[in-house]
Homo-oligomer: A and B are copies of this chain.
């Protein structure tokens, strides 16, 4: 079996006006869909970060992919993910995920690896999770991912989407948003994107969530590095009970040393709320310093930029070895990425927290999985008993996504620019802000 065709599709999908310390989500998010077709007519697919730079990176591999044996391609390309070791850090404090040039290579490899595994799975009739070690779970738990947001469901003009959740710029409306999400998807844990308002407002938001949902729903807050060490310690102390059971404080501050300092100060006060990160630790090269400083107790992996499914499995074994928890980071995505995340999670024993997902923020109108959106039931995605990732492309929907990309003015993600355009012309990302 050889790869006879390699297709790269840039798409745009509607995205609601979600807020974070990076700024504001634009009306459209960009994704890239990869297809690898074999000479016996099978097609393997994957989804990754979007925009022009990602496509250019994928294009550079064309001559190595065409004609390759998909079982061997990942070996040939392995220098792309084996380059980093101790000291080659890649923090993305100042860059939104998918826009960090330092992980462009691992992101690009991952898109190819997932498509290869899907192609292999479809060819041999086995689910991807069972090609990479075998499933340890059939149902993968995900968290609700509430955001402060402005009114609107994403998209523009006649292409605007329904605003299912409405505006949420206060603790009360955030709680309402979470209740809606739980009612619809049955989520059992909550990851709340903070870093938008004064820390006291966000503390109050977590407290209201805790009161509303009870002590058995783990809560997490992620201000995307917006706080000083002092503020982070203050929030950690204020929310010691609310974040205590199965929750965590995610990237409260920028920098590994600063994370380590927050950890040290919290422990000194008897507070062992774990610190999680997908900003201070984004590659293997970040880990030795993180371990040394005890800077991160939970790593949020993302197969897209960690270099694919097998690298995430390596990471999980490493994390377990050092007593570090593992969860999964998410960026705006459709069902192909969701299924890839689910397959990796299914075949990764040391996954200690429900995974993040932005999926509820996307609209069925943009889904390009044949048959429509992947169900999330009781907060879980079920790994289907189908070959490969278990999903196929709806080519009509793909065509619409490509038209949307052609039509929209975005070619990369820039939440700061969007914030200036839509909310405050003088807005700047400041770290730490509080």
Whether the Cβ atoms of B130 and A71 lie closer than 8 Å is yes
CB-contacts of A110-150 with B (<8 A): 124, 126, 129-131, 133-136
A291 to B82, CA, bound (A): 20
CA distance A79 to B333 in the complex (A): 32
Measured between beta carbons, the chain B residues less than 8 angstroms from A78 are: 133-134, 136, 349
Check A285 for interface membership: any CB of B closer than 8 A.
yes
Contact status of A85 and B320, CB under 8 A, knowing A71-B126, A310-B313, A313-B314: yes
Tell me whether A389 is interfacial, beta carbon within 8 Å. no
- B124–A82 contact, CB under 8 A? no
Query: Does A298 make an interface contact (CB < 8 A)?
Result: no
Q: Is B79 within 8 A of A349, CB to CB? A: yes
- What residues on B are CB-neighbors of A347 within 8 Å? 75
Q: Given A126-B71, A310-B313, A347-B75, is A321 in contact with B284 using a C-beta cutoff of 8 Å?
A: yes
User: In the bound complex, how far is the Cα of B80 from the Cα of A349, in angstroms?
Assistant: 11
Instruction: Say whether B317 contacts A72, CB under 8 Å.
Output: no
Measured in the bound complex, the distance between the Cα atoms of B314 and A78 in whole Å is 14
A76 touches B320 (CB 8 A): no
Determine whether A365 belongs to the interface, using a CB cutoff of 8 Å to chain B: no
Q: A86-B322, A350-B82 are in contact. Are A75 and B135 (CB under 8 A)?
A: yes
In the bound complex, CA of A186 to CA of B129 (Å): 41
Which residues from B are CB-within-8-Å of A284?
A: 317, 320-321
Whether A311 is near chain B, meaning CB under 8 Å from some CB there, is: yes
When the two chains form their complex, are residues A86 and B136 in contact, meaning their CB atoms are under 8 A apart? no
Closest partner residue, chain B, to A75 (CB atom): B134
- Interface pair B310/A72, CB less than 8 Å apart: no
Chain A interface helix/strand/loop/mixed: helix
Provide the bound-state CA to CA distance between A310 and B135, in Å: 14
On whether the beta carbons of B74 and A133 are closer than 8 Å, the reply is yes
B residues near A315, Cβ cutoff 8 Å: 317
Which of chain B's residues have a CB closer than 8 A to the CB of A72? 130, 134-135
* Alpha-carbon distance A349/B69, docked complex (angstroms): 19
Query: Is there contact, CB below 8 Å, between B136 and A321?
Result: no
- Cβ contacts A17-33/B at 8 Å (1 or 0 each): 00000000000000000
A317-B134 Cα distance, complex, nearest whole Å: 20
User: Hey, which chain B residues are within 8 Å of A318, CB to CB?
Assistant: 314, 317-318, 321
Contact with B along A299-330 (1 / 0, CB 8 A): 00000000000110111011011110000000
Please tell me if the beta carbons of B124 and A310 are within 8 angstroms of each other in the complex: no
How far is it, in angstroms, between the C-alpha of A131 and the C-alpha of B69 when the chains are bound?
Answer: 12
Q: Residue A311 contacts which of B71, B136, B287, B317 (CB distance < 8 angstroms)?
A: B317
Shortest CB distance A288–B (Å): 6
Docked pose: A131 CA to B124 CA in angstroms: 12
Nearest CB of chain B from residue A110's CB, rounded to whole Å: 13
Distance of A129 Cα from B75 Cα, bound (Å): 9
A168 to B349, CA, bound (A): 48
Judging by beta carbons under 8 Å apart, are A69 and B285 in contact? Answer: no
CB distance from A45 to the nearest CB of B (A): 19
